[in-house]
Structure 1
Amino acid sequence: MAPTAPMALSTPLAPAADNPIFAVAARAEALRARGADVITLAAGEPQAATSAVVVEAAVAAVRDPATHHYGPAQGHPELRALVAARLSEDTELPWTEGDIQIALGAKHALFLAAQALIGPGDEVLVAAPGWPGHAEVVTAAGGVPVPVETDHAFRISPDALDRRRTPRTRAVILSSPGNPTGAVHPESRLRGIADWARRHGIWVIGDDIYRAFDHTGTYRSVLRVAPDLRARTIVVGGVSKEHAMTGWRVGWLAAPPEIVASARLHVSRTITHVPTVNQRAALAALNDADTPADAARDYRRRRNLLVEALNAIDGIDCPLPDGGMFAFPDVSDLLGDRGWTSSADLATWLLDTAHLAVVPGEAFNAPGRIRLCFAVDDRTLLTAIDRLRTALGTTPTEATYDIDAPNPEVAR
């Protein structure tokens, strides 16, 4: 089916005041409310439900009178101890519960880190393309987010960092695997970044929320590569992605004492503490190693499937992501002659015409690309692929993918 001219939305796809990713989801929900059969590959979360083990732990916690009262602002000691044990394994450094602050998800943990570290006018280097939330937490702290161009594999380099460094540079946010690119920084690159940060006295904020979804086996914590940076490093994590618990809002930061103290004070003065029932659920999740391992295996297979299908469509070039839950193809060859002037126009047209929700690259400082989430079930992904191929002028029968293949090779 040849595309028609892009359709204007009565409600803008991404209002300037809104997170553009949430704006896409809201537009999709509005279409569903009017009866449209919309498939969403725009969400930054697993489609799967939280595991029964975690749900049952939460139900038991609700029934326990001990959860009905105030808890410590820093978080439940048992949960903090379990997070510390995981960090010790990741970094090969000793961590204790005192080094951990429990937060309302990783986004809140990043906010707490920025509030503790960033002052008015301080500059923080963020990857471009990159998740907009990194820039947003810097701005919320009065700082200035400075985009750093990534290389062909979407990784930041010491040279690129140094080109953007000024006397006001306070920190760099390093996400590996990244969102939306899936880029995993290998040890050699991490070592170079660490050397650069050490030389210039720059803090490192490591966003490790996608750590469980490294499809290359090369993920390393920056502190495992450069343990001497511990006094100037903050590590952020959570259960949202690897345990399908985005709605439960439990994350954490691990940091030097002064950062944890600031974060604890901020939590005490605002939310008091993360809900105790949710922390009990997170405790059960961290004791469950099977769920993230199973999810990672399924996501790797679906990643291969989606990338193969995207590369079979004329005008789309999709690299194979190292990790994460997203494909991030270049669609610039589809634009112009086919009636769209931007990837935002294409995303709008796909949503209105094919009832397929994707996120335009403009949301990530990457015009000419779109982001598609493959953390969905097999049938949803296959249907989405067929809609995409049909809408862009190819037919589903031309596809060569096999959803039952355990590890299909990607044809490039």
Structure 2
Amino acid sequence: MDNPIFAVAARADELRARGVDVVTLAAGEPQSATSPRVVAAAIDAINDPATHHYGTAQGEASLRNLVAAVATTDTGLPWTGADVQIALGAKHALFLALQAVVDPGDEVLVAAPGWPGHAEVVIAAGGVPIPAPTDERFRLTADTLEQHRTARTVAVLLSSPGNPTGAVHSDVQLRDIAAWAVEHEVWVISDDIYRKFDFTGTYRSILRLAPALSDWAVVVGGVSKEHAMTGWRVGWLLAPEEIIASARKHVSRTITHVPLINQRAALAALHDVDTPAAAAHDYRRRRDFLVEALNEIDGIDCPLPDGGLFAFPSVAGLLSEDGWRTSAELAGWLLDTAHVAVVPGEAFNAPGRLRLCFAVDDHTLHTAVKRLKAALEAR
């Protein structure tokens, strides 16, 4: 099945090609450009003949060592460059992790609501994604995971903050999930791509809280969200030796290695702590504006997300048999009528909701809100 998020983007592009002024809050990425210092590092790399040739399958040692140092700070565990595999973005890193632990027909628990890419990458690795309902604050619990565990369960995909919900798991929940995973020998694949965008101050790596999980954990990260580098495709995984060996072999036999120029750019990005901090400050402010504005519209109930890049309001109050029957129909109407692109909750196993990205500039966000309010109030 095609990713419905990309389908919304494609429809918006069609309208733009016809001259329609479409404002999009549907993207799953920051709108801003990559930092000039990162671009400068890439240009320097282009001019370095050493980047014009093959590199190592596991990734450049300098980048792996820096990723390991950052992970050591996050988790409190002594990672080294040998524990890191560089990948073509976090999605590729997730696939490499899953193909190492999944045999055909094995089951992997994924959050519901949750990002469709998690289920898709499980399928790509030959597994079967099993939706595990989240609690009222969109967080997974050990009790729910146990209810959905079977003899074929080999892993759970955990994301905190999450997409689309922005949910940050509590320390207690993470410790319970870790204990459950160790007891049942289930891998925890921790997708930490939104780790810098926690607005509650409560984010913790599951491994910092439960170091005993380290033999059953894979940590996935990348520069895409923190550094507005989605198109550069540099991510990584940190994992036990057998997982890294499997991932290295897969990379060697398929893509050979991640382009060296991109790795140099990612190295520069990881040395830049100011850009993610400034972005987080702006995103929090825009989150607050968007959530308040949405809650002023009759029929919309928008919780305040803990983190991430998205608001995830319920639009159940707008749906009826004689109007829009689904959030997908509503999203289509908003695109065609208000010329605002949003993603329907059906994409995330959450009918009756919409996902709106607030990682855009102020003008875009204010324009989108004005159009949404005008269209919905005039209906």
TM-score between both structures, scaled by the size of structure 2: 0.99
- Residues 334-363 of structure 1: per-residue CA shift (max 9 Å, x gap): 011561110000000000111100000000
Match of 1:103 in 2: 87
Identical positions, percent:
73
Is 1:322–2:277 an aligned residue pair? Answer: no
* Structure 2 residues without counterparts, runs of 5 or longer: none
Aligned counterparts of 2:199 and 2:284: Cα–Cα separation in 1: 6
Match of 2:110 in 1: 126
> Which among 355, 362, 370 is matched to residue 346 of structure 2?
362
Match for 1:66: what amino acid? A
Where do residues 10-409 of structure 1 align in structure 2 (5 Å cutoff)?
17-336=1-320, 339-393=323-377
3-state SS in 2 of match to 1:271: coil
Which deviates more from structure 2 when the two are superposed, residues 357-366 or residues 140-149? 140-149
Contact 1:313 1:394 in 2 (8 A): no
Aligned counterparts of 1:58 and 1:394: Cα–Cα separation in 2: 49
Contact 2:301 2:314 in 1 (8 A): yes
* Structure 1 residues without counterparts, runs of 5 or longer: 1-16, 396-412
Give the Å deviation of 1:141.
Answer: 1.5
Aligned counterparts of 1:78 and 1:95: Cα–Cα separation in 2: 14
Contact 2:286 2:362 in 1 (8 A): yes
Moved over 6 A (4+): none
Alignment RMSD (CA, Å): 1.0
3-state SS in 1 of match to 2:131: strand
Match for 1:37: what amino acid? D
- Residues 246-283 of structure 1: per-residue CA shift (max 9 Å, x gap): 00000000000000010001001111000000000000
3-state SS in 2 of match to 1:173: strand
3-state SS in 1 of match to 2:196: helix
Give the Å deviation of 1:230.
Answer: 0.6
Aligned counterparts of 2:263 and 2:378: Cα–Cα separation in 1: 48
Contact 2:181 2:216 in 1 (8 A): no
3-state SS in 2 of match to 1:211: coil
Give the Å deviation of 1:123.
Answer: 0.7
3-state SS in 1 of match to 2:156: strand
Aligned length: 379
